Amino acid sequence: MIAFFINGQPVQAEDNQTVMQAAKANGFFIPYFCWHPQLSVPGNCRICMVEVETEAEGGGWLDIACNMPVTKGMRVLTDSDKVRARRKETLQFITLNHPVDCGICDKAGECTLQDYHYEYNGAPSISRDAKVHATKHFPLSERIVLDNERCILCSRCVRFTREISKSHALGVQSRGDHSLIRPVEDGAFEADPYSDNVVDICPVGALLSRQFLHKARVWYLKPTPSVCPGCERGCNVNIWHRKSEWKLKALDAKQNARIDRVTPLENPAVNGPWICNKGRDLARILERARAEQAMQKGRPVELQAAIDSARALIGTARQPVALVSSWGSNEELAAFHAALGQRFACYVKPDWLPVPGERLEDDLLIRPDKNPNRAAAGALFPALPADVQSAFPPDTDLVLVWGEGFSFAQLPPTARIIYLNSYLQPENGHADVFLPISAQTERAGHYTNFQGVVSGFEACFAKKPGVADAQALFAAIAAPAGGSKP
């Protein structure tokens, strides 16, 4: 440990720490654009200048904190007059060719440049000359557009593709104030499954997600912590949706209960500050057409009636088999285990299989099993054997299928089927009893990832009236006739 001083207060730094890291660890804030805890230090934005006090005449010297090694007894000032004056000058430079079009910029509200401008400068530009113009909407890939005028050339995105995603897809073209971030080869950035992270780490609104482009102002949105169900990594994410106090009355009601975007929720034990593009596209998984109507053999019935029928079927079955979802939360799995675990011969089925063309596995985040909670389910129940038929004894008369991804054609033709699913699928109508259950965004729970790390998710939206919560449903369908209601 090295003892030194920040703003006159004694602090401790670990060996080989920079002033920036030590200040952050000790709760002092030094502004930065280009520095990122997970990336190398380029020291190019020059906003993190701090003063090091010396005995010499003329006071301390200034240098960038992100590249300054801590030395014993050094006295660092993060907010002296000199530092403040320097930051003002640097912000003048950074905003010199920046269009300051916050009014139409998706980043407004969470933009580092905007924050620092109000915090450290506040003055209008002293330049009266025309700004340098550059490409406004350069398509970096199908997913990302680049506004070169807003870009402050911090090189975070370039370093991300070199150091984290290893696609080496981005580089800087030209030099001086005509420098442009560009893909190194056509299509290289397209193939990067982590490309959307550059939108998050962009300190300004230069890199924009096409999905989210002009969709919402971020201050109308609220993040709800959640877990990505895309694979067994279980990356922690924030699901952004409209704040309840900012509902849009004039628009379609669906706009008020939709996933506006998904961003990573930093968890060093699981995903660090990154997620893959599949996680960004959670809306494509979670916002498929929802099943909201309980059915018996395709005939709409009241939810309670369907529950009663299911309970009757379970009560009379002689050889029931259950296929347990690997998308159920720990709580739901425990509830199933307690209520029906003894009654059924249970197997865990994979709800999702890799889609053709999808990346199966890599060194960063993506895992081969595309189900979020196979670890917890597998701890309670055996896995469905590869030869599916062997799971069903010849006299199987009832099969409970929980979750999607299982073709009824594989079931014994004589068995009755109870089907629990959240989405509209052809199988729903073929089940003897179909019970709609809530999707991940409508309930809270926990997933256990392949490393055994448990991450929790919260409900973003209210559950639809005709839909049951699986956790309560299991007790209801297991109870003897006249028992508790869901």
Partner 1 sequence: MTGRKLLMTFPVTATSHLLADYRARGGYATLEKVLRQMRPEEVTKEVTTSGILGHGGAGFPAGRKWGVIKLNDGQPHYLCANADEGEPGTFKDRWILENAPHLLLESMLITAYALQVRNAFVYIRGEFDLPYRRLAAAVEEAYAAGWFGERILGTIFSCDIVIYRGAGSYVCGEASALITSIEGKKGYPRNRPPRLTVRGLYQQPTVINNVETLANVTGIVAHGAEAFRKVGTAKSPGTQLVSISGHVQRPGVYEVEYGYPLAKFIYEDCGGVLGGGKLKCIVPGGISTKVLTAAEIEPLTYDHASLAGAGSGVGSGGMVVIAEGTCMVRLLQILLRFYHHESCGQCTPCREGMGWMHRIIDRIVAGEGRPEDIEQLIRISKANDGTTICGMGDAAGYATVGIIAKYRDEFEYFIEHKRSRLDGRLEVAIP
Binding site for partner 1 (CB under 8 A): 41-47, 49, 62, 64, 67, 69, 86, 89-90, 92-94, 96-97, 126-130, 132, 152-153, 155, 171-172, 174-179
Instruction: Identify which of residues 178 and 247 has a Cβ nearer to partner 1 in the complex.
Output: 178
Minimum CB separation from partner 1 for residue 277, in Å? 27
Instruction: Identify which of residues 86 and 107 has a Cβ nearer to partner 1 in the complex.
Output: 86
Q: Are 154 and 44 in contact (CB under 8 A)?
A: yes
Instruction: Identify which of residues 38 and 44 has a Cβ nearer to partner 1 in the complex.
Output: 44
Instruction: Identify which of residues 89 and 302 has a Cβ nearer to partner 1 in the complex.
Output: 89
Instruction: Identify which of residues 4 and 344 has a Cβ nearer to partner 1 in the complex.
Output: 4
State how far the Cα of 181 lies from the Cα of 12, in Å rounded to an integer. Answer: 38
Distances (CA, A) of 111 to 79, 204, 413: 21, 5, 59
Q: Which of 417, 326, 339 is nearest to 369 (CA)?
A: 326
Instruction: Identify which of residues 158 and 265 has a Cβ nearer to partner 1 in the complex.
Output: 158
Minimum CB separation from partner 1 for residue 44, in Å? 4
385: exposed, middle or buried (Cβ count in 10 Å: 0-12, 13-18, 19+): exposed
Minimum CB separation from partner 1 for residue 134, in Å? 12
Q: Are 457 and 447 in contact (CB under 8 A)?
A: yes
The 10 Å Cβ neighbour count of residue 254 is: 8
Instruction: Identify which of residues 64 and 228 has a Cβ nearer to partner 1 in the complex.
Output: 64
Which one-letter amino acid corresponds to residue 464? K
Instruction: Identify which of residues 53 and 266 has a Cβ nearer to partner 1 in the complex.
Output: 53
Minimum CB separation from partner 1 for residue 328, in Å? 50
Instruction: Identify which of residues 46 and 311 has a Cβ nearer to partner 1 in the complex.
Output: 46
Cα-Cα-Cα-Cα torsion 381, 384, 386, 389, nearest 10 degrees, comes to 130
Antiparallel, parallel or unpaired: β 75-77 and 138-139: unpaired
Minimum CB separation from partner 1 for residue 422, in Å? 50
Minimum CB separation from partner 1 for residue 247, in Å? 42
Minimum CB separation from partner 1 for residue 125, in Å? 10
Buried b (16+ CB within 10 A) or exposed e, 236-245: bbbbbbbeee
Instruction: Identify which of residues 90 and 330 has a Cβ nearer to partner 1 in the complex.
Output: 90
Instruction: Identify which of residues 99 and 223 has a Cβ nearer to partner 1 in the complex.
Output: 99
Minimum CB separation from partner 1 for residue 48, in Å? 11
